[in-house]
Copies of this chain bind each other. A is one copy, B any other.
């Protein structure tokens, strides 16, 4: 089973005012780049069963573009992918998904959560050593026969490798 962690596309500068910061949409360039990344992923024969997304506009728009380009069959919004979301909730979702025999999945969210979760899923702890650009992709694979349930890292790519 493959898990793709995809950071939202370019959304301009952050805002000091929290509500305005949360509401930032993708820029036109962010939309274009995200669409090209989505198209390239599909051209590489990647299709996931479900795309989960953070509820924030910049992530939800990214996920919507991925869905429009047929990267995933379904789209669902989950709170654990919001900034500051719970790694425990993310793991519980993953555990349940795997126990139900779920297929490949993509999570659209934010830094530093996605990078830290990837490190923890692979190495057991987060050290903030992954550089995950906007519209960048981390690819993790889970094998049935790893009793520890640990993941392998097979991709870490900025959008420039996919454009």
Contacts and interface: CB of A to CB of B under 8 A. Distances in A.
Contacts of A122: 127, 129
A56 to B, nearest CB: 24
A131 B139 CA distance: 10
Nearest to A131: B154
Interface in A110-129: 119, 122-123, 127, 129
Contacts of A157: 155-157, 161
Q: Is the interface of A mostly helix, strand, loop or mixed?
A: mixed
A130 B152 contact: yes
A160 B44 contact: yes
A3 B154 CA distance: 18
A154 B155 contact: no
A123 B119 CA distance: 10
B150 A155 contact: no
A78 interface: no
A136 to B, nearest CB: 9
A153 interface: yes
A47 to B, nearest CB: 16
A44 B123 CA distance: 30
A151 interface: yes
A85 interface: no
Contacts of A44: 160-161
Contacts of A151: 129
A45 to B, nearest CB: 10
B158 A131 contact: no
Contact of A153 (B130, B141, B150, B161): B130
